[in-house]
Amino acid sequence: MIVIDKDNIGQEVDYEAGCVFLVDKPLDWTSFDVVNKIRFALRSLYGRKKFKVGHNGTLDPLASGLLMIFVGKYTKLIPHEENHDKKYESIIKLGATTESLDREMEEIELKPYDHVDLQSIEEEAQKFLGESTQEIPAYSAAKINGRAMYKLARAGKEFKPKSKQVIIHTVDVKSYDAPFIGLDLLCGKGTYVRAFARDIGQKLNTSAYLYALRRTEISNYSVEKALTIDDICKSINKDN
């Protein structure tokens, strides 16, 4: 598989035959924004209205980090490249939550957290290791009767959120500077770190939400070698 990263950016590539770009997605961009930007550059290069571009794992707008962008014939590989483990650096805030379980919405459910210490966080975090059932955040793209849950939630519709089986391989608590927990998470496909933040808050007898998130690894690929969107588009445009 041809993977374009910091080590080989600028090499000649047959984008129609396919390749994968390692992208460091910035904050406030959707994963589709990244796909669309790269697709536009490729459409301009080839002078056509359509060009196949996709990714193998969405990152929320308020998260940054590694995206794998598949182009050309490599888009056919996406179904086979979606099951990789992923690693995240996260900051979780205790003592409040939000409806979206991240910083997109206003804080609600303010609760005390002065009883929480580093030891209790480490003990509860280890209880999440292995397979478990996770309730999917209401503000997510998961569908109920064909409609995305986030659309139902924004419309004020009442519904029971779906649940799914997830696996968490490692949880490494890096710091606790109340009310903020810093931890790294290695987990399987489809794990919602926002839901993990909510759930560990409940285990600690308080409320919590995901304050910041950065994806650092997908399988054996690291964000340290990932490219900026501008770097990729400049590399594509030099062929025009």
Cα gap 206→6, rounded to integer Å = 43
Give the DSSP letter of residue 136: P
Catalytic status, residue 60: yes
Cα gap 37→49, rounded to integer Å = 14
Nearest C-alpha neighbor of 59 from the set 222, 235, 212 = 212
| Whether the Cβ atoms of residue 105 and residue 144 lie closer than 8 Å to each other | no
Cα gap 4→229, rounded to integer Å = 12
Nearest C-alpha neighbor of 189 from the set 57, 21, 55 = 57
Catalytic residue among 24, 28, 60, 199: 60
Query: Given the structure tokens 């690291």, which residue do they identify?
Result: 222
Distances (CA, A) of 184 to 123, 193, 223: 15, 10, 14
Annotated active-site positions, please? 60
